[in-house]
Structures are given as C-alpha cells and as structure tokens.
Amino acid sequence: MPISFFWFRRDLRLTDNIALLQAHTAGDPVQPVFIFDSNILEELPKDDARVTFIHAQLEKIHQELEDSGSSLLVKKGKPKEVWKELLEEHDAAALYLNRDYEPYAEARDQAIREMCESREVGFESFKDQVIFSPGEVLKDDGDPYTVYTPFKNKWLEHFESSDWDDYDQDVDPVWHESTFAFPSLDAIGFKQSSIEVPDFDLTVADDYGKTRDFPAQDGTSHLGPHLRFGTISVRDVIRELSPKNEVFLSELVWREFFMQILAHFPRVVENNFRSKYDGINWRNNKDDFERWCKGQTGYPMVDAGMRQLNETGYMHNRVRMVVASFLCKHLLIHWSWGESYFAEKLLDYELASNNGNWQWAAGTGCDAAPYFRIFNPHSQLKKFDKDLKYVEKWVPEYDSMEYPEPMVDHKAARQRALDAYKKGIDNA
C-alpha cells in the first residue's frame, strides 16, 4: 500500500494541524518526517537553544507516535536531497505540508513540488500558521496593505465574517507502521543548551493592555517561540481569548501584517522598505556595536535588555523598542546589524517580525516610527521601570563605580541622528 508523507516544519504538534488532518482524511497511512535542514543549521552555534527546543518537541511527538505503532522519521541534510532519497525508497502517494511564507522556504518548497510532480507524487500544501495568508487581506484594489491600522481593520472584518475555525478535527489518524529510531542531539551535531524555552501563559491576556509595557512585571505571555515552532496553533490561541483581549489579539494581527509585508516585498530582507532612507550615512562603529551587544552602554534600560537577551534568549517587548532605537539612532548603526544579532539570540526569532520591527525602529520600514521619533532611554526608564526592579535584576552593578558612564550624550546623539537622517533623505 502506498503511504503519504507529512512534513513537520513550523507546526510541531499532532493536534489542530491542518495538513496533518488532511493527510489522515485522504486515507493512506501517514509517515511523519522532520528534516534538520543543514542549510540553516550550519549557521547556528552547537548549543543553540532553539535546536534543543525543537529536538525536545520532536521527541515528545515520536513517543506519542510509538504509542500508536508508528514513529517519527528524522533526517538531517538539504531538504531537496532528503526528499529525493525518500521518494526513491518509498511508494509515496503524496507529500502533505503546511505553507511557510518566507523567501527561502517558498523557493525550497517550489523545488520539492516540482520533484514530486515529476514523479507523479501529490504535493498538498495548506494554510496553518496564520489565520489569513498573505494574499487574503488586501485593499479593495487588490494591492497589499503597507500601513498597519487599515490592515488590522480589514483583517478583523474578514475574521468576523469568515469560517476560519470551520473544519473537522474529529479525524481518526491512520499512521504508517514504522520503527524509526529517534536520534540524539549529538547525532545531529548539537548539544544541550543551558537556555530553556519557557512555557507560554495565556492567562496574562486579560491584563495584557495594562501590564505589557512594564518589564519588571513580566506581563507578557512568552508565546512567541511556541507560535514560531507551532507547538500550539494560532487558532488554539485565539480560541482561548475573550472579547476583552483586544490588545493581545492586535499583536497576533501585527504578526500577520509583517508576514504579508515580507511575502509581497521580499526585498526588505536586505533593503530598506522605504528607499528614501537609502542615502543615510551610517557610522557602523564596531566598538560601539560590541558595547551594545554586551549591555555596556551606560544606559540602564538598554543594558538590562541586552543582558536579559544574552542570558535567556528573551527580551521584554517594550525594551526591544528602546534598545533598537538606541542602536539605530543614538549610535547610527544600520538596523541590519541589530536584526542579525537578534536573529542569533532570540528564542522567538521569526524573519518577518524581526525585520519588520527593526525597520520600524529605524524609521526605514512600512508604517514605521518617523525618523525624528527618538526614544529617550532615561525617560523610558522613569516611565516603565521607575523603581529600577528590572534594571537591578539584570545590571547588578548599576549605581556603583563599576557601571560605565553613558557612551553617548542623549541630546547630542539625538541631534546627530536628526542631521544624518535629514541629510540622507536629501541625498537619496
């Protein structure tokens, strides 16, 4: 009997998984597969916390499958080469997967689609990681939105009138009988990270609008990595929300806004969304960047945020805006430097949101903060951490002789940024 393959990617769960449900509905026995993509892994440190997290989630899935007389087939390599090998070894009816909208993923999936079609193997892809895919929420003239608020309004209109939750989850799984061994972290060339991904907590959604800006309260859900790797579906998250969780829901809409920006304007990966900022003469001082990375700028909220990131792989949302603004505007370092550092460190790193938020902070992105909006780290500290609980947790030497003086004067740095942006716009 032929089998169907299901390819785990950003959907590491057995429940509320659209492509997996569709594979079971088709009737052929389903063999789940995960590929540790060497194109991605070769850029990561050997103790990358995200790889440790993925491996642990896959092991849970493997154990659940064993209870059903099946197993998870885990491979490491370049996806196209892995699928060529699997399709030669097995009588495959179809390959099922959930869509990924990042440029690398779309190119990869198109190549594998063509391989399947050349072998007369079905290639079945489905929307799963979003409520609305990049082409579903458009202006009346069919163009993509580049401003968040009208996108959000149209998104909510679609949400209220659509059948986004209308599908049959009550499907009896039909697994392929298999006994594949589950590899250790060491076998795929990695080792256990000391950083753990925390569990998410959706109970904070009730007070999210009131607490989300105060880093010492930690009023955020820690949902990011779980949405990024799909240990919970975005549909399950929304089912848990109540009508009063409007602010929390808006964060999910921001996520889809940046995803559709990336899908419609893939040039933003390396270029300013707004080309009028292409003429800015960035300082890009390596020593300044190093001090920012280490949390040694002399600005307590900036330093606390960077040290939190380096130690835990997480940074509070309010603080992310402050540290990003500081890098781009106080230090005049190109947003791509900060974006790359966050990509290396963040547990919840996602290309679309990371790129969108960094360009927002730099003023170069769609619907971005205007270039003359420059966060004052001192006033941000007084407003959102006035008792210094957050700062004292991450910068224990604060208010001692060991703590460095501010590396730049805020007023002078602000004026330097205004001059550089203004001149850059004139030269673009």
CB 80 within 8 A of CB 108: yes
Question: Catalytic residue among 66, 106, 282, 376, which?
Answer: 282
Q: Angle formed by the axes of helices 351-362 and 246-264, to 10°? A: 90
Two structure tokens written together for 275: 């080309």
Q: Is 354 a catalytic residue?
A: no
Question: Catalytic residue among 7, 17, 98, 251, which?
Answer: 251
pLDDT for 428 equals 66
Question: Catalytic residue among 83, 358, 360, 394, which?
Answer: 358
Question: Which listed CATH number (1.20.1260.10, 1.10.579.10, 1.10.3720.10, 3.40.190.10) goes with 269-427?
Answer: 1.10.579.10
Pairwise CA distance, residues 419 & 414, whole Å: 9
Q: How many CA atoms lie within 13 A of 353 on its CB side?
A: 19
pLDDT for 136 equals 97
Backbone dihedral region for residue 298 (phi beyond 0: left; psi -120 to 50: alpha; all else: beta): left
Q: Is 251 a catalytic residue?
A: yes
Beta-bridge partner residues of 96 = 6, 124
pLDDT for 168 equals 84
Do 269-427 and 1-128 fall under one CATH topology? no
* Residue 256 CB neighbour total at 10 angstroms: 24
pTM of the predicted model as reported, rounded to 2 decimal places: 0.95
Question: Which listed CATH number (3.40.1010.10, 1.25.40.80, 3.40.50.1860, 2.40.30.260) goes with 130-165+202-264?
Answer: 1.25.40.80
Pairwise CA distance, residues 265 & 364, whole Å: 14
Question: Catalytic residue among 59, 164, 196, 254, which?
Answer: 254
Q: Could you report the average pLDDT of every consecutive run of 10 residues in the chain (428 residues)?
A: 96 97 96 97 96 98 98 98 98 98 97 98 98 97 97 97 89 95 98 96 93 91 97 96 94 98 97 96 98 98 98 96 97 98 97 97 89 94 97 97 97 97 89
Question: Catalytic residue among 317, 344, 376, 392, which?
Answer: 317
Pairwise CA distance, residues 119 & 307, whole Å: 51
CB 17 within 8 A of CB 234: no
The H or E element that residue 122 is part of is: strand 122-126
pLDDT for 370 equals 83
pLDDT for 369 equals 76
Q: How many CA atoms lie within 13 A of 207 on its CB side?
A: 10
Q: Is 335 a catalytic residue?
A: yes
Two structure tokens written together for 316: 């509070």
Pairwise CA distance, residues 243 & 191, whole Å: 43
3-state secondary structure of 77: strand
CB 331 within 8 A of CB 283: yes
Question: Which listed CATH number (3.40.50.720, 2.70.98.10, 3.20.20.140, 3.40.50.620) goes with 1-128?
Answer: 3.40.50.620
pLDDT for 153 equals 97
CB 315 within 8 A of CB 323: yes
Q: How many CA atoms lie within 13 A of 132 on its CB side?
A: 27
pLDDT for 218 equals 79
Two structure tokens written together for 384: 């959102």
Domain boundaries, the chain: 1-128, 130-165+202-264, 269-427
pLDDT for 118 equals 97
Two structure tokens written together for 288: 């300044």
Beta-bridge partner residues of 281 = none
Two structure tokens written together for 87: 């399709």
Per DSSP, 37 falls in state E
Provide the CA 363 distance to its chain's centre, in angstroms: 20
